[in-house]
Amino acid sequence: MNKQDTKVTSVPSPHGGSWRGATFHIGGVHPAENKLSAASPIRVAAIPKQAVFSMFQHIGAPAVPVVKMGDEVKVGTLLGEAGKGLSVPVFSSVSGKVNKVDAVLDSSGTRRMAVVVDVEGDEWEESIDRSDTLVTMKDLGNITAEEVVNRIKAAGIVGMGGATFPTGVKLMPPPGTKAEAIIVNAVECEPYLTADHRLMLEKPEQILVGIQLIKHAVNCPKAYIGIEMNKPDAIKLLTDLLKEKAAQYPGIEVVPLKVKYPQGGEKQLIDAVIGRQVPAPPALPINVGAIVQNVGTVYAIYEAVTKRKPLIERIITVTGKSVKNPSNFLARIGTPMQQLIDEAGGLPEDTGKIIGGGPMMGRALMSLEVPVTKGSSGLLLMTEKESRRGEVSPCIRCAKCVSACPMGLEPYLLASYTRLKNWDGCEKNDVTSCIECGSCAFTCPSNRPLLDNIRVAKQTVMGIIKARHMESITKK
């Protein structure tokens, strides 16, 4: 990761004057932006010859396959129903014949249950409205809040910024809580990624209708769209649209945000936009009256509710300094990553590392045969030079990692507890609050693998907490 500082504190506003931009108050870093594909309009990726649909594309219980080898499916056919508890269904994004239902390698490097479909033609379920016509709230008549949430659940929508939390569940605030602000996460603070930026430029009004649907679903009068100031065209477009159609889209405001990573972290965004602090887990944003939805999710909500379209495709950025045509693709879920790389001009010779997601939070891919999933926001082909890690040297106790941490943690301490397998120390020092943003590792002059260490600790401590919880339940 290039450590060049690209601090932006204010930018000229297209409306005159300048935006200073709101921001979060603890930590943060300024990695080089490298938004190479920002000017590339969304291209429809080719339909793959074979598509792979993992049953593990979301947080919670996996979906359960409902098809078998040899079954004929269409675009929009249910392949896997939601599992027990927290889960969502999975739909086919292609038409053809089921080749197998079996464990297949996914982006985590694990073999997991999936449905593989050999593609024939492009036949869609008739229930899906494939027209481009804008459907407004007025067109939806007296649609109830319950119906909106039901359509979202039925469409298998999850957080598309990468979190993959089932959206329908997020839109049912637990008893005792109330949504006071919907915050649309249109920050896209990860370097290189531009999918959300292009979506705002190309589908602005659909996004506004999607926001109205969320407001309606949770009975919340106010919504904010948080956008980093490195996307002035999107800020201007949405602000102008809201001004021009104020009566049609009331209670929605665009909030220009300072360019600072991780501005798009849920807690950081809530702090920046409404100035509220979400306490440590298990507290949720709704405990301070906020519901955060990624802008891609908002668009998927629009399509699910107005077009009855399940989550079968998404926009994904394919980029890198040596990539011939850094691109934003509208890709069918299940498309092999290799195909998207081919469409972006092929794998550059000097590729050193392939990352699913952005350079700060993304993870290295084990194979290019892994498919696009609901949470795939980007594919970054890092050059050999970029992917070379600096030599690790001893910690010099400079505390830069502490200053950079947006969660107020002590990364050097957590990392050394991890090496000592001192899980109690990790838990006491709030490792579960880590949002895995990578700011600590980015800023460390000794190139210590802080994020790698802390991820291990977080996973281990969460397992310990879960086991403890199960034990206390069985004892009762």
Chain contacts with ligand SF4 (rule: CB under 6 A): 395-401, 404-407, 409, 411-412, 434-440, 443-446, 448, 450-451, 454
Least separation in angstroms between CB 439 and ligand SF4 = 4
Residue 406: CB minimum distance to ligand SF4, A: 6
Closer by beta carbon to ligand SF4, 250 or else 445: 445
Least distance in Å: CB of 416 to ligand SF4? 9
Task: Rank residues 338 and 446 by Cβ distance to ligand SF4 and give the closer one.
Answer: 446
> Taking the complex as a whole, how short is the minimal distance between the CB of residue 59 and ligand SF4, in angstroms?
18
Cβ(278)–Cβ(169) under 8 Å? Answer: no
Q: Which residues contact 52 (CB under 8 A, 6 or more apart)?
A: 104, 114, 115, 116, 117, 334, 336, 370, 371
To the nearest 10 degrees (0 to 180), the angle between helices 295-307 and 145-154 is 100
DSSP class of 288: G
256 φ, ψ to 5°? -70, 135
267-289 as b/e: b if 16+ CB within 10 A: bbbbbbbbeeebeeeeebbbebb
Residue of 86, 78, 79, 81 lying closest to 61 (CA atoms): 86
Tokens coding 244: 């021009």
Nearest to ligand SF4 of 170, 400 (CB atom): 400
Distance of CA 199 to the CA centre of its chain: 14
Q: Are the C-beta atoms of 271 and 24 separated by less than 8 Å?
A: yes
161 vs 371, which CB is nearer to ligand SF4? 161
Tokens of 348: 């550059």
Radius of gyration of the chain (CA): 22
**Of the candidates 378, 20, 48, which has an alpha carbon nearest to the alpha carbon of residue 199?**
378
Chain centroid, CA 196 distance in Å: 10
Least gap, CB of 322 to ligand SF4 (angstroms): 28
Q: How near is the Cβ of 31 to ligand SF4 at its closest, in Å?
A: 13
Count of other CB atoms within 10 angstroms of residue 49: 13
CB of 360 to ligand SF4, least distance (A): 9
Q: Which is nearer to ligand SF4, 242 or 437 (CB)?
A: 437
Q: State the minimum distance, in angstroms, from the CB of residue 278 to ligand SF4.
A: 13
Q: Which one, of 398, 404, 390, lies nearest residue 443 by Cα? A: 404
Q: How far apart are CA 128 and CA 467, in angstroms?
A: 43
Cβ distance to ligand SF4 smaller for residue 48 or 411? 411
- The verdict on whether omega for the bond into residue 445 sits within 30 degrees of 0, i.e. cis, is no
Nearer to ligand SF4, 179 or 444 (CB): 444
Token couple for 390? 């600096």
385, 315, 160, 157: CA torsion to nearest 10: -150
Of 248 and 433, which has the nearer Cβ to ligand SF4? 433
Nearer to ligand SF4, 279 or 445 (CB): 445
* Residues across the chain: 476
38 or 404, CB closer to ligand SF4?
A: 404
Three-class DSSP category at 36: coil
Judged by CB, which is closer to ligand SF4: 91, or 442?
A: 442
CB of 259 to ligand SF4, least distance (A): 18
Name the packing angle between helices 232-244 and 195-202 (round to 10°). Answer: 30
Residue 174: CB atoms within 10 Å: 9
Give CA–CA dist 405/310, Å, rounded.
37
In angstroms, what is the minimal distance from the CB of 448 to ligand SF4? Answer: 5
Q: Closer to ligand SF4 at the Cβ: 198 or 400? A: 400
CB of 181 to ligand SF4, least distance (A): 23
Least distance to ligand SF4, CB of residue 366, Å: 22
CA distance 280 to 214: 26
